[in-house]
Structure 1
């Protein structure tokens, strides 16, 4: 699902002058066909493991480091399994802009009362 959203956002963002054109996606490194998935995405512009046969726009760039991925971002899109949300939010909380906002595409619910990444 993450690659589908990255493809759509990466394509649509090019139509607007008010947004940064680079769409950063954080990838859990996997070896696919003997190569690193991040390298495949950045060189072939395709996620051959999770979205084979669909080219990603050239402005979609895969990163390994979640902190580097969110650096300078105004909008964060979370497309991750629910069990990772707390760990990722804790990792990025001191690196996210105060004006940034997040959109969640989580597939399940994680109930944490009064939880904030600030």
Structure 2
């Protein structure tokens, strides 16, 4: 993989990890402690300076109680991955709220399409 692609991938994965950490209401210090690594290591991963190994991604997923795939597809531009993200977001909402959001998405898609 070209160096520029690796850098982009590190950034995408890092942002997804940071976003998931914030969603889980964890600090970098708490994540570092659970992974038995330094806070600077967590920071470097979240900033996209370092691309975590597959094994490390698995450890992050355990801490955040999600699938490894969630950490690499959360910021994907593929429609299928985006649909999966929307499904996760909708799953915690009441039926009426989901219906409202679906109506808004349909209107936007019609207008923009």
TM-score interval for Structure 1 and Structure 2 normalised by the shorter chain: under 0.3
- Larger relative helix fraction: 2
- Larger relative strand fraction: 1
In the superposition, the TM-score normalised over structure 1's length comes to 0.25
In the superposition, the TM-score normalised over structure 2's length comes to 0.26
